[in-house]
Amino acid sequence: MAKKDEYESRTEALLVPILESLGFEMVDVEFVKEGSDFYLRALIDKEGGITIDDCETVSRRLDTELDREDFISEAYILEVSSPGLGRTLKKDRDLVREQGKDVDIRLFKAVDGSKEYTGALRSFDEGTITISTEGNEKSFERANIAKISLSLDF
């Protein structure tokens, strides 16, 4: 297991009990290098949305656990935040939660002359994601999806 994967999975294991005790849910954990700095990001959510106070509470509790476990060898910046309005849907649990909502799909290769589609998320399985757009259902191979995110309705 790569360091990045180990850091993310061990952080998730520390984060989930904290979130469950508060009635929040984990959206994602990522360990990334940006410029010369490493960031450990925890994206959290709850019904009605996450507040700054919620992020602060989780950050303090997670920071205490991370200091106690001390498994990350690199210096890093801990960030706890909401995934935002146009959140990326990375995992199957994200797709389950957002089923029926409008999503934006960006493809690696054009299908029917386009690389971008918007529609209501209808279904998914291991190999495909299906949306309903303009009254028609359209399925996409997961291997061809560069990004799927909630559609911003303004």
Q: What is the mean pLDDT of residues 21-26?
A: 94
Q: What is the mean pLDDT of residues 30-52?
A: 93
3-81 CATH? 3.30.300.70
pTM tops 0.75, yes or no: no
pLDDT tens, residue by residue, 123-139: 999 999 999 988 899 99
Classify the phi-psi angles of 153: left when phi > 0, otherwise alpha if psi is within -120 to 50, otherwise beta: beta
Q: Which amino acid is at 65?
A: E
Is the confidence at residue 154, as pLDDT, over 70? Answer: no
Q: What are phi and psi of 4, to 5 degrees?
A: -55, -50
Q: What are phi and psi of 81, to 5 degrees?
A: -155, 175
Residue 86 confidence (pLDDT): 78
> What gap in Å lies between CA 68 and CA 80, rounded to an integer?
18
92-150 CATH? 2.30.30.100
Residue 85 confidence (pLDDT): 76
Is the confidence at residue 153, as pLDDT, over 80? Answer: no
Q: Where are the domains of the chain?
A: 3-81, 92-150
